[in-house]
Amino acid sequence: MKKFFSLLCLIVLSAMSQAYSDDIALFTNTIGAHPAALGGAYTAEYASIYSQFYNPASSAFAPRTMIGSTLFTIYEVDVKEFSIVYPAPWGVLSAAIVYGGLGGIPYTELQDNRPAITGKNFTYGATKVLLGWSNIASKFSTSIPDGDNLSVGIQLEYLSETLEKANGNALLCNLGGFYVVNDNLFAGVSLRNLLGAQEKWGSGASAVEMLDSSLRFGIKYIIISECAELNVDYALIAKGSLSAGISYALVPGLFIMAGMNEGKLNGGVRLAWNGAYFDYSYSAAKHELLSSTSRFSLGFEFGRSPLLKEKENQLSEDTIISMIRTYDTISAADRKIELIDKVARTKHPRVKSFLLSLVKDENMQVRKSIITGLVLSFPTEAEVTLVDCLFDQEKDLKIMAAFYLGEVGKSSSLKVLHQLLPFEGDIDVMKAINDAISKLEAKM
């Protein structure tokens, strides 16, 4: 898989084309206020919701589910965008939809080529009409990490345009690669329109418009952790273009950004708090006759990636042994519970004997944590321990044991529960035992 970057470059260099329509170029303009503030240097941005517009591979390490939306007006066209990134157990799914529309553009349509006499001059009959234009782009991508450093992504992009009564559409395939060099340095490469798709107009594809392929390279360097970052991109389309951006945290949660793209300065701010963020960017006009562009983005992050959870559970054997050895040196109950939780999730064979040796711990909260760890990681071995807990003097422990037996118990546990029920004097414990019996009988 590490040959991916070389292969990607060879494919695109052989497939480059020169033409690129103005309307498609408009619609693939920088999406997201955060990327825009950085000058569009986003190919190596790490796990952002807007990564899918620049590199479909860099979302593979997304730690949480993300949703976001951007609004802006460019060239008098109102653009609305919505994105989602969803971490699955095997990788990350991303989707986005962008809509731009414009109406009431005056233009002159020649009715025919026959001259009409008006006074002493010959002229053509003409009609003043209003032209409507709309454009929709949908993106669906998936990215899969290969270990902790490398990821690849593939994306399908559907473009649809409506111009007066004509409809045009195209389906593009985009590829991306992302590499984590170290904790501070990231690299990315992306290829848009791998197969050289064309935009077809009309039901019979009477008109075909060439769409360009493009290749982007990018790096991201974290200058100061959680404070200052530098992004640099090089895009190769008909001609190369360099973009760069820098981000700096004034205080935790407040960032200022500046970027440059094709010699024009961009800037913006980000407010981030507890999984939510608001971005604003300002982009200078690229031509004196055009207006500048302001973008507004709002996003939220929540949940946790299944891949991240799995990674946290993967401790080396030496680390597990070291943690087990330090247990006896810990006096605080909450720290003991934290250690038990970490090692239990690894499901390592050494942990099983370690937990079984601690089930008689004097601290009841620690003891409950040990039993919970056994049930979740070693349910077969936990059954015997749970049965023993039914004979304990502690009421809460007996209730917990009965509940877990209802989840992991077998026929032998059912027999013990039936035998204990007539002799139990506490109503709450009796209820817990009855519930466990009902669950086990329903399974058998």
Query: What Å distances lie between residue 44 and 56, 114, 271, 343, 416, CA to CA?
Result: 10, 58, 22, 34, 60
Q: Which residues contact 380 (CB under 8 A, 6 or more apart)?
A: 408
Q: CATH number of 22-305: 3.30.470.20, 3.30.420.40, 2.40.160.40, 2.40.340.10?
A: 2.40.160.40
3-state helix, strand, coil in the chain (%, to 5): 30, 45, 25
Region of 292 please: left (phi>0), alpha (psi -120 to 50) or beta: beta
Does 187 score more than 50 pLDDT?
A: yes
For 7, the 3-state DSSP assignment is helix
Which segments of the chain belong to CATH 2.40.160.40? 22-305
Q: Where in the chain is the domain with CATH 1.25.10.10?
A: 312-443
Q: Picking from 42-46, 208-212, 343-347, 378-382, which range would have the lowest pLDDT averaged per residue?
A: 208-212
Predicted pLDDT of residue 119? 39
The model carries a pTM of 0.60
When pLDDT is cut at 50, 70 and 90, the band that residue 116 belongs to is very low
pLDDT (0 to 100) of residue 8: 42
Is residue 397 predicted with pLDDT exceeding 80? yes
Comparison of pLDDT for 267 and 346, the residue scoring more:
267
Distance CA 409, CA 437 (A): 10
| CATH for the stretch 312-443 | 1.25.10.10
